[in-house]
Amino acid sequence: MNLDIPNKKRQLAKVKQVPNLYHIAMDAIDGTPIDFSLFKGKKILFVNVASKCGFTRQYKELQKLSQQYIDSLVVIGVPCNQFGKQEPGNADEIQSFCQTNYGVSFLITQKVDVKGVNQHPLYTFLTCESLNGKRDSSVKWNFQKYIVSESGSLINHYYSITSPLSNKITKHL
């Protein structure tokens, strides 16, 4: 028997009370609330990030993407420690690492779970077709990417091996 099913149903019920992506509550890495509705009219690229991963070098490409498409895209890094414990740091350590090593200026959120019983509502939305209107998915590893339209609906998701600068992503911008 899969014990995650009742928890998944509770997560879905909780998120279904939220009318769309723009009403999901989340904090930035410094603890300030993020108002996703401020990003209406721009695409959003959500990426679960980790500082001790083989894909960590993608921070550089994410920063470049963020700067190159500043008028039409918001890049949001979402730290997660669920894959190989590759994001063990606290908020200050994560923020310092990103800025010092990659010059990251795009938005970084609080550290959250992107799967499992404590999955953050943002990732429940991104991974559940009944909420995002597009498809079901699961987060397989660090640096998986979800791109959302200007109106807050899911466009697609891309696995870790897809470069942030790949045509698979930039064709939407």
Please identify every residue annotated as catalytic.
53
User: 85-113 in b/e burial notation, b at 16+ Cβ within 10 A?
Assistant: ebbebebeebbebbeeebebebbbbbbbe
Q: Which of these, 19, 58, 65, 39, lies nearest to 161 by C-alpha position?
A: 58
For the CA atoms of 168, 150, 153, 159, the dihedral, rounded to the nearest 10 degrees, stands at 30
C-alpha to C-alpha distance for 129 and 53, rounded to whole angstroms: 28
Decide: 110 and 26 in contact? Cβ < 8 Å. yes
With contact defined as beta carbons under 8 Å apart, do 158 and 145 qualify? yes
